[in-house]
Amino acid sequence: MSEYDRYYNFSAGPAALPLPALEEAARDLVCYPNAGASVLELSHRGKVIDGIIKEAEARLRRILSIPESYHVMFLQGGATTQFSMVPVNFLDANSTAVYLEQGTWSKKAIAEAKRVGNVEVAWSDKDNNFTRVPADNEYEVRPDAKYFHITSNETIHGVEFHRDPKSNGVPLVCDASSDFLGRPIDITKYGLVYAGAQKNIGPAGVTVAIMSDDFYKKLIEDDRRPIMMNYKTHVENHSLYNTCPVFAIYMVGLVLKWLEEEKGGIAGIYKDNLAKAELLYKAIDESDGFYKGHAAVDSRSIMNVTWRTTSDELDKEFAKAAEAQHMLGLKGHRSVGGIRASIYNATSIEAVEALVEFMAKFKKEH
C-alpha cells in the first residue's frame, strides 16, 4: 500500500467525493484551462468564475427539474445558518411556524426559530430516541403557520422521509442536508429546500438553497436584519453580494457533472443508493440479533445506516477494527454512540460490499 491509497469512506460529512471530480480539480488546481491562474486565484466577478457558477446552477436545475420560478442560491454558514435565516426572514414575534422534532438537527432548527417567534412542534419522536418519521395522519399543520419545517433525513439517527410530507398548503421548508441529490424530490412541493454541501454535493463551505418565488414573496421586510442574513440580498445579487465560496462552488459543479454525465442523474444514483442500503440492512437483519438497526424499518435512511452490536464496548471495537481495515468514519455520532455507515452518492457499492464482508467476519470473531 502507498501513503496515497484511498480507503473506503463512510464518513458522515465532510464525506466521500467522486474520484473523477477530485482528479479534475487536482489537474486544474494550479492552472484552470486557458485562465492563466488557478480557480483559487481568480476573481469571483470575472468571466471564468461567472461561467463556473452559471454552469453549476444550470446543471442543478436540470438534475432536479427546478422550475424557472425558483431561486437557486449558493450561500455560506452551513445548514446551521439556515436554521437561523429561515425564521429571521419569515417569522416574527406575532406569528407561528410549525416544526417536526425528528432528531438532533431538527431540535437545533427549532431552538433557533424559538429565538425569533412562536414555534409549534406538531410531532416529536423524542421519547423513542428518534427512530422514525410520522405518517401524514399523525400531525396537523395549522393553516395560519408561516411555514412548516421538516428534516428529510436525520443524519445522526439515520431516519429518513421517503415521501414529500403533507403540509396543508403551508409553505414546506426542508433541511435536506444529508439526502439532497440522493433520491428523487419534487421541488414544486417545497417553499424552500436547503442543504449543506459536504455530504452529497461537494466540499464544506457552500450551502445550496432553492426557494420558490411564491415563498420568497412572503419574506418579512425588516431594515434591521443583517444584510448577509437576508435572503433578498442573495436573490437580488445572484449569490454574489460578497465574495462567494468560489472553490466550493467549482467542486459542486464537478460533482454535478459526474452525477449527470456518469451516474444517470437522480434516477441512476437513486437505484445505486437503494442497492447499497439494501445490502447493508440485509447484513444487519440477518445477523441473528448480533447487529441491531436503530431506525424503524419503513423510516430507514438510505444515506446514513445506524446500528449497534451487543454492547457499547463492542461498538467501539467494531469501528476501531474497521478503521484498521481501511474503512473510515464508522463510529456513531458522539451524541448517540453505536455505529453509523454513511453511504452517500460517492460511496461505491464495492465499499459497502467490503463493509458487509467485514461485518460477517467481526460477528464470527465475537
Interface positions, 177-216, toward ligand PLP (CB under 6 A): 177-178, 196
Q: Are 256 and 56 in contact (CB under 8 A)?
A: yes
Give the span between the Cα atoms of 244 and 87, in whole angstroms.
23
Residue 320's CB is within 10 A of a number of other CB atoms, namely 11
Given the residues 125, 146, 179, 199, select the one marked as catalytic. Answer: 199
DSSP annotation of 165: -
- Of 100, 85, 88, 43, nearest to 209 (Cα)? 85
The minimum distance between CB 149 and ligand PLP, in angstroms, equals 11
The minimum distance between CB 111 and ligand PLP, in angstroms, equals 13
> Which H or E element spans position 193?
strand 192-196
The minimum distance between CB 13 and ligand PLP, in angstroms, equals 5
Torsion (CA) 177, 89, 226, 155 in degrees, nearest 10:
-20
Nearer to ligand PLP, 13 or 329 (CB): 13
The minimum distance between CB 12 and ligand PLP, in angstroms, equals 6
Which residue in the shown chain puts its C-beta closest to ligand PLP?
78
- Of 6, 8, 13, 7, nearest to 304 (Cα)? 13
CA angle 215, 225, 114 (to 5 degrees): 70
Q: Judged by CB under 6 A, which stretch of 39-47, 162-170, 173-181, 293-301 contacts ligand PLP?
A: 173-181
**Residue 199 is among the residues annotated as catalytic for this protein:** yes
Q: Judged by CB under 6 A, which stretch of 76-84, 180-188, 256-264, 279-287 contacts ligand PLP?
A: 76-84
Q: Does 87 bind ligand PLP (CB under 6 A)?
A: no
Give the residue carrying C-alpha cell 425528528. Answer: 102
Given the residues 125, 146, 175, 179, select the one marked as catalytic. Answer: 175
Q: Does 76 bind ligand PLP (CB under 6 A)?
A: no
The minimum distance between CB 200 and ligand PLP, in angstroms, equals 11
Q: Does 155 bind ligand PLP (CB under 6 A)?
A: yes
Nearer to ligand PLP, 108 or 363 (CB): 108
Give the span between the Cα atoms of 210 and 326, in whole angstroms.
37
Nearer to ligand PLP, 32 or 194 (CB): 194
Nearer to ligand PLP, 153 or 309 (CB): 153
Q: In degrees rounded to 5, what are phi and psi of residue 175?
A: -85, 105
Q: Does 80 bind ligand PLP (CB under 6 A)?
A: yes
The minimum distance between CB 198 and ligand PLP, in angstroms, equals 6
The minimum distance between CB 261 and ligand PLP, in angstroms, equals 27
Q: Does 299 bind ligand PLP (CB under 6 A)?
A: no
Give the span between the Cα atoms of 300 and 293, in whole angstroms.
9
Cis amide leading into 143 (omega within 30): no
Site string for ligand PLP, 125-154 (x = CB under 6 A): --------------------------x---
Nearer to ligand PLP, 177 or 230 (CB): 177
**Residue 258 is among the residues annotated as catalytic for this protein:** no
Strand 304-308 versus strand 327-328 pairing type: unpaired
**Residue 105 is among the residues annotated as catalytic for this protein:** yes
Query: Among the residues of the chain, which ranges form H helices?
Result: 19-28, 47-64, 78-90, 104-114, 213-216, 231-236, 246-261, 265-285, 312-324, 349-365
Chain-centroid distance of CA 354 in Å reads 24
Nearer to ligand PLP, 175 or 359 (CB): 175
Give residues in contact with ligand PLP (CB under 6 A): 13, 78-80, 105, 151, 155, 175, 177-178, 196
Active site members: 105, 175, 199
